[in-house]
């Protein structure tokens, strides 16, 4: 490992075995997760967010971003689980309903998705889409 560092520059912290994804305060990890997400490294964002969600289960923001990271990295069952948790806790969270519907659609579960998409539409005030 030291030879690689000398030849190729600094070694990424994950390569050395340190827990790069869990390092820092909650605010720092939230920012890191957002940077990974914005860079479209959804799997890395999910790694940071999964631990953060366990620490702050009452906050919907990290849960929604975790669900989005799972969705975009094709971890659809995980996205569904997180989204169902949000909807169970906050039945009127229209964005979680929308995402759950899209996640179910992507899994080929159209009928089940339709229910959540209709509720999301109603909650968003788009009654004409019903």
DSSP 87-117: HHH-TT-HHHHHHHHHHHHHTT-HHHHHHHH
Report pLDDT for 21. Answer: 76
Distance, in Å, from the CA atom of 57 to the CA atom of 5, rounded to the nearest integer, reads 39
87 vs 51, 67, 81, 94, 111, CA distance in Å? 20, 12, 10, 9, 18
Could you tell me the two tokens for 43? 């799997």
Contacts of 48 (CB under 8 A, 6+ apart): 21, 22, 29, 32, 33, 36
Q: What is the pLDDT along the chain (130 residues), one digit of tens a residue?
A: 344 333 333 334 443 334 777 788 999 999 999 999 999 999 999 999 999 999 998 899 999 999 999 999 999 999 999 999 999 999 999 999 999 999 999 999 999 999 999 999 999 887 554 4
What is the pTM assigned to this prediction? 0.79
Q: Do the Cβ atoms of 105 and 76 come closer than 8 Å? A: no
Report pLDDT for 128. Answer: 53
Distance, in Å, from the CA atom of 76 to the CA atom of 100, rounded to the nearest integer, reads 10
Distance, in Å, from the CA atom of 29 to the CA atom of 16, rounded to the nearest integer, reads 19
The C-alpha R_g of the chain, in whole angstroms, comes to 18
């Amino acid at each position: 490992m030291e030879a690689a560092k000398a030849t190729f520059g600094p070694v990424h912290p994950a390569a050395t075995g340190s827990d790069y994804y869990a390092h820092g305060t909650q605010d720092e990890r939230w920012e890191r997760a957002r940077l990974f997400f914005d860079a479209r490294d959804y799997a890395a964002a999910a790694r940071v967010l999964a631990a953060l969600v366990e620490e702050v289960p009452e906050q919907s923001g990290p849960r929604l971003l975790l669900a989005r990271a799972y969705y975009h990295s094709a971890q659809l069952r995980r996205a569904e689980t997180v989204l169902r948790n949000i909807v169970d806790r906050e039945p009127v969270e229209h964005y979680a309903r929308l995402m759950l519907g899209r996640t179910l659609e992507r899994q080929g579960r159209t009928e089940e998705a339709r229910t959540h998409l209709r509720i999301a539409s109603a909650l968003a005030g788009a009654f004409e889409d019903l």
